[in-house]
Amino acid sequence: MKRLLAHGDILVWENDAFTCLKNGYLGIDGDRIDYLGADKPRAAYDEVKDMTGKLLLPGLINGHTHTGMSLLRGLGSDLPLDKWLFDTVFPVEDRLTDEDLRIGMELSMLEMIASGTTSFTDMYMAPGYTARAVLASGMKANLCRPMQSFDPDEAPMTCARMREMLALYDEWNGAGDGRIKTDFSIHAEYTCTEKMVRAAAEEAQKRGAGMHIHLSETEGEQRACVEKYGLTPAQWFDSLGAFAGRAYAAHGVWLTPEDRALLRDRGVTVVHCPESNLKLGSGVADVPAMVSEGLSVALGTDGAASNNNLNLMEEMHLASILHKGVRRDPTLLSPSRVLQMATVNGARLQGRTDTGALCVGNKADIVAVDMDRPHLTPNIDPLSNLVYSAQGADVCLTMADGRILYENGAFLTLDRDRILFEARKAAQRLLG
Amino acid sequence: MKRLLAHGDILVWENDAFTCLKNGYLGIDGDRIDYLGADKPRAAYDEVKDMTGKLLLPGLINGHTHTGMSLLRGLGSDLPLDKWLFDTVFPVEDRLTDEDLRIGMELSMLEMIASGTTSFTDMYMAPGYTARAVLASGMKANLCRPMQSFDPDEAPMTCARMREMLALYDEWNGAGDGRIKTDFSIHAEYTCTEKMVRAAAEEAQKRGAGMHIHLSETEGEQRACVEKYGLTPAQWFDSLGAFAGRAYAAHGVWLTPEDRALLRDRGVTVVHCPESNLKLGSGVADVPAMVSEGLSVALGTDGAASNNNLNLMEEMHLASILHKGVRRDPTLLSPSRVLQMATVNGARLQGRTDTGALCVGNKADIVAVDMDRPHLTPNIDPLSNLVYSAQGADVCLTMADGRILYENGAFLTLDRDRILFEARKAAQRLLG
């Protein structure tokens, strides 16, 4: 199947910036892009889609989320962090069944697909059980089973979580023609022993897998770690080998300048989650400094329990304006830069070399935004309109590996009504 | 015409908070609400609309915008404030014709209606010319002609802007059965003489009209005023009588604690415009302090040139999370509090006593949000879902004075296609 997207405005990544090719052509052969240009291609295509008035961009990549938590959306809003986590979230999480996790993940995928996300990096329970739902959805995902261990005598290689992680890797890494990748994960410094971090880092290294962690999210976490170890969380993880391979760290709100230099030198991607950091009162990460110092920064939504949605378009919008205001400099973080975080840098984080940008040879992970809307008119600057004015609901087409997942409000791979019904029923049982 | 909205979840304002009446009934007789309750009313209605799965709330009120600027959307993004204003915005504004202003306003109204706004407070050029467009749209608006004067010898009562303002008041105040109100306005401290402020304040007072100003938006403005007059902008305006009647001040980013006390004592409403303040690098207003000290705070989008949309749902979302993060306290500014800003407090600002809340006797200014969406499922806490998760595009019904302006994507009072066509043509002429 060869499909031509004709007459769309195409956001092309070149020389470290996105530029807009107006009224261009994007050809797809199977799962890959085989043409991109201003002129009509000579090759024949089975189907031509008129994309006049649409903006084509790479599928967005959510660098950090907990998809199974969507069933907890709106639970315990506006509580202090410890009350929210210990008195409301944890007790409900304890009751989540594997089926609940599958439903939560499907609900999350509906939402992500409808707002232009084609790939996500998840950290939650039972990833082996829920991986099947990812395959069926047509999305891409980096899955992991986060390690936690509070007992310094626990044997790393035989504990339940390590066994789950290794089984996840063996069964699912590379599944769906590479759509699923499995990474290793340490939940956080404050929930893990040194022995466990070392072991997980070694196992990840052996397999060339990634390492997904929470890092320096709150001031308290940062302070307690320095008190306990004489090291910041970044230094502590580094001393245990966690950054030896492809590694990515969610939040990074309280990183010191020395931490930032360390992460840059190790090539660690920081996943900026501005909505979650604001809503939980964690603070504002110094993303302008990270970018100017040469760190790779991706974007994440975090889970729906602390956001409360998985809409990466909102995250781009917020990332683009938040730092301008807090640092009082309107020239910071251009639309091109935040779109880079949500695409190019997300692909790097996931260890995927054939997505994150629209170019010949890359996988056809493509999103179209309908610019024929009052709030996107006039369309003087499509990048500016995309980042500052558009809503997730302006996405009219989401495609991964050349397969259409969503078009004009209709889901083509997931059963929306069944999932919403099951999600409501599960939430009622859990919370009602 | 009597219309019953049945089985919707209704956000009711009582005892200083919004609560949700599940599966309720809202009756409308002509332009007013004549029933609200959990039980089916006994009276007969001509039409019954099933609102199952919909959340009903008061029409949102945009407390500060410049609707004519929508044609400049995306112009000069990411420039320093002075370059943006002087090198890009002002030269284009100089070329705007009355027709351009009318088109920009219509474009703005499309966008506002589609995202749940029923009333707005405008500050821009040629309000008398564009008032006709407001009448036709079915929306409500407080219009003004902002005064500017740099010449201390200019005679206030005979200058062009004062004459325009007085003519606007005479011709339009109360038009459309009160849908249009006209207020007086001083653009800002740094663009006006003392003489002119005094005269405008007196004329507003004589007529019981409101006073619309920009106040303490940037640090530079605040500092320069203190250097020039030995007074903050708030003190300066107060000394000239500008706060003697109903008055409202956009931004208030750099208000001192003394300024806040002064504004509270004078009953001045501060219009919080978080997106514009962030995007232009102005800073973050201390809204939590304002609220805890008893100031009335409303919400505004500012103009599309500095936002870049007029979506008050986004503004609510941002106001609710921004201060939690910056002040590092997740208990600040609950969803109920920010919805109050966008409704109850907006109505107070506009001097309208019969809107801003859903209750018997009030005008039927009603918005319905479709909660049957993946990102609003489960719907454990409708207020939380509305403020933290919803998008403007989730609005499925917008009604003002009992008249449906928008339903399921269709505009019933404005010609969407004609307006978008004209807006593109005008933008091309202005910028192309």
Q: Do residue A283 and residue B392 have CB atoms under 8 angstroms apart?
A: no
Is A409 within 8 Å of chain B by CB? no
Q: Do residue B311 and residue A115 have CB atoms under 8 angstroms apart?
A: no
Q: Which residues in A30-187 belong to E strands, given as ranges? A: 32-37, 47-50, 54-58, 60-65, 117-122, 140-143, 180-182, 184-186
Buried-exposed string B272-302: b where 16+ CB fall within 10 A, e elsewhere: bbbbbbbbbbbbbbbbbebbeeebbbbbbbb
Chain A environment of B394 (Cβ under 8 Å): 393
Residue B199: pLDDT over 90? yes
Q: Do residue B385 and residue A81 have CB atoms under 8 angstroms apart?
A: no
Q: Do residue A391 and residue B311 have CB atoms under 8 angstroms apart?
A: yes
Tell me the pTM: 0.97
Which residue, among B73, B284, B320, would best test binding to A if mutated, counting the most A CBs under 10 Å from its CB? B73
Residues A34, A27: contact at Cβ < 8 Å?
yes
Residue A2's H or E segment, with its range, is: strand A2-14
- Distance from B220 to chain A by nearest Cα, in Å? 12
User: pLDDT at position A385, please?
Assistant: 98
Minimal-distance CA residue of chain A relative to B387? A308
Q: How far apart are CA A346 and CA A357, in angstroms?
A: 10
pLDDT tens-place string over residues B281-321: 999 999 999 999 999 999 999 999 999 999 999 999 999 99
First to last CA, chain B: 48
User: pLDDT at position A270, please?
Assistant: 98
Q: How many CB atoms lie within 10 A of CB B173?
A: 17
According to DSSP, the β-strands at B269-272 and B296-299 are parallel
The count of C-alpha atoms lying within 13 angstroms of the C-alpha of A17, restricted to the half-sphere facing its C-beta, is: 8
Going by the DSSP 8-state scheme, the letter that residue A273 receives in this structure is -
pLDDT tens-place string over residues B374-387: 999 999 999 999 99
- Distance from B19 to chain A by nearest Cα, in Å? 15
Q: Do residue A388 and residue B309 have CB atoms under 8 angstroms apart?
A: yes
Residue B394: pLDDT over 90? yes
Residue showing tokens 């495609």: A399
User: pLDDT at position A83, please?
Assistant: 85
Mean pLDDT of A181-191: 97
Mean pLDDT (chain B) is 96
User: pLDDT at position B431, please?
Assistant: 84
pLDDT tens-place string over residues B347-360: 999 999 999 999 99
Minimal-distance CA residue of chain B relative to A279? B321
- Distance from A317 to chain B by nearest Cα, in Å? 10
Residue B101's H or E segment, with its range, is: helix B98-114
Regarding an ipTM greater than 0.85, the answer is yes
Going by the DSSP 8-state scheme, the letter that residue B268 receives in this structure is P
Minimal-distance CA residue of chain B relative to A423? B378
Q: Do residue B281 and residue A327 have CB atoms under 8 angstroms apart?
A: yes
The count of C-alpha atoms lying within 13 angstroms of the C-alpha of A343, restricted to the half-sphere facing its C-beta, is: 30
Q: Do residue B107 and residue A377 have CB atoms under 8 angstroms apart?
A: yes
- pLDDT category at B133 given cuts 50, 70, 90 is very high
Q: How many CB atoms lie within 10 A of CB A34?
A: 17
Chain A environment of B309 (Cβ under 8 Å): 375, 388-389
DSSP character string of B326-352: HTT-TTSS-HHHHHHHHTHHHHHHTT-
Chain A environment of B221 (Cβ under 8 Å): none
Q: How far apart are CA A1 and CA A213, in angstroms?
A: 40
Chain A environment of B384 (Cβ under 8 Å): 74, 77, 308
Q: Do residue B278 and residue A322 have CB atoms under 8 angstroms apart?
A: yes
**Nearest Cβ partner for B427 among A307, A310, A380:** A380
Residues B50, B8: contact at Cβ < 8 Å?
no
3-state secondary structure of B27: strand
Is A88 within 8 Å of chain B by CB? no
Domain locations in chain A as residue ranges: 2-58+362-411, 60-350
Residue showing tokens 């005269």: B199
Distances in whole angstroms, Cα of residue B125 to Cα of each of A52, A169, B173: 34, 64, 17
- pLDDT category at B22 given cuts 50, 70, 90 is very high
Q: How far apart are CA A294 and CA B226, in angstroms?
A: 41
A421 Cβ neighbours under 8 A, 6+ residues apart: none
**Nearest Cβ partner for B325 among A73, A283, A391:** A283
**Nearest Cβ partner for A378 among B317, B380, B424:** B424
Residue A76: pLDDT over 90? no
Q: How far apart are CA A312 and CA A301, in angstroms?
A: 6
- pLDDT category at A82 given cuts 50, 70, 90 is confident
According to DSSP, the β-strands at B395-400 and B366-370 are antiparallel
Domain covering A60-350: architecture: Alpha-Beta Barrel (3.20)
User: pLDDT at position B258, please?
Assistant: 98
User: pLDDT at position B77, please?
Assistant: 81
Q: How far apart are CA A237 and CA B414, in angstroms?
A: 59
CA dihedral over A4, A9, A15, A16, signed as positive or negative: negative
3-state secondary structure of A36: strand
Minimal-distance CA residue of chain B relative to A67? B375
- CATH number of the domain located at residue range(s) A2-58+362-411 in this protein: 2.30.40.10
According to DSSP, the β-strands at A140-143 and A117-122 are parallel
pLDDT tens-place string over residues A361-384: 999 999 999 999 999 999 999 999
pLDDT tens-place string over residues B151-168: 989 998 989 999 999 999
- pLDDT category at A255 given cuts 50, 70, 90 is very high
Mean pLDDT of B105-117: 98
- CATH number of the domain located at residue range(s) B61-349 in this protein: 3.20.20.140
What are residue A369's DSSP bridge partners?
Answer: A55, A395
According to DSSP, the β-strands at B211-215 and B184-186 are parallel
Is A280 within 8 Å of chain B by CB? yes
Residue B235: pLDDT over 90? yes
B205 Cβ neighbours under 8 A, 6+ residues apart: B241, B244, B245
**Nearest Cβ partner for B330 among A78, A114, A379:** A78
Chain B environment of A322 (Cβ under 8 Å): 278, 322
Distances in whole angstroms, Cα of residue B319 to Cα of each of A80, A84, B206, B349, B353: 18, 20, 35, 18, 25
Q: How many CB atoms lie within 10 A of CB A162?
A: 21
Residue showing tokens 């500014």: B333
Is A74 within 8 Å of chain B by CB? yes
A204 Cβ neighbours under 8 A, 6+ residues apart: A183, A184, A210, A211, A245
B269 Cβ neighbours under 8 A, 6+ residues apart: B63, B247, B248, B249, B295, B296, B297, B298, B345, B348, B349
Residues B185, B200: contact at Cβ < 8 Å?
yes
Q: Do residue A385 and residue B308 have CB atoms under 8 angstroms apart?
A: yes
Mean pLDDT of A390-404: 98
B326 Cβ neighbours under 8 A, 6+ residues apart: A278, A284, A326, B284
Return residues 143-182 of B near A (CB < 8 Å): none
Residue showing tokens 């929508």: B70
User: pLDDT at position A294, please?
Assistant: 98
Q: Do residue B278 and residue A324 have CB atoms under 8 angstroms apart?
A: yes
3-state secondary structure of A154: coil
Mean pLDDT of B123-136: 95
Q: How far apart are CA B195 and CA B176, in angstroms?
A: 33
Q: How far apart are CA A111 and CA B142, in angstroms?
A: 38
Q: How far apart are CA A56 and CA A357, in angstroms?
A: 11
Is B53 within 8 Å of chain A by CB? no
User: pLDDT at position A27, please?
Assistant: 98
- pLDDT category at A431 given cuts 50, 70, 90 is confident
Minimal-distance CA residue of chain A relative to B105? A374
Q: How far apart are CA B106 and CA A277, in angstroms?
A: 37
- pLDDT category at B81 given cuts 50, 70, 90 is confident
Residue A328: pLDDT over 90? yes
Chain B environment of A391 (Cβ under 8 Å): 311, 314, 391-393
Q: How far apart are CA B214 and CA B73, in angstroms?
A: 20
Q: Do residue B423 and residue A79 have CB atoms under 8 angstroms apart?
A: no
Residue A77: pLDDT over 90? no
Mean pLDDT of B392-400: 98
Q: How far apart are CA B98 and CA B396, in angstroms?
A: 32
3-state secondary structure of A368: strand
User: pLDDT at position A80, please?
Assistant: 80
Chain A environment of B325 (Cβ under 8 Å): 274, 277-284
Q: Which residues in A187-339 belong to E strands, given as ranges? A: 211-215, 247-251, 269-272, 296-299
Minimal-distance CA residue of chain B relative to A418? B374
Residue B50's H or E segment, with its range, is: strand B47-50
Residues B241, B321: contact at Cβ < 8 Å?
no
Q: Where are the alpha helices (DSSP H) in B5-64?
A: none
Fold of B2-58+357-411: Urease, subunit C; domain 1 (2.30.40)
Least confident of A264-273, B85-94, B242-251: B85-94
pLDDT tens-place string over residues B24-57: 999 999 999 999 999 999 999 999 999 999 999 9
Chain A environment of B78 (Cβ under 8 Å): 330-331, 334-335
Q: Do residue B378 and residue A311 have CB atoms under 8 angstroms apart?
A: no
- pLDDT category at A339 given cuts 50, 70, 90 is very high
Residues B345, B337: contact at Cβ < 8 Å?
no
Return residues 332-361 of A near B (CB < 8 Å): 332, 334-335
The angle subtended at Cα A265 by Cα A63 and Cα A148, nearest 5°, is 50
Q: Which of A294, A155, A309, A402 shows the shortest CA–CA distance to B378?
A: A309
Amino acid B398 reads T
Size of interface A-B (CB pairs under 8 A): 224
3-state secondary structure of B203: helix
Minimal-distance CA residue of chain B relative to A113? B374
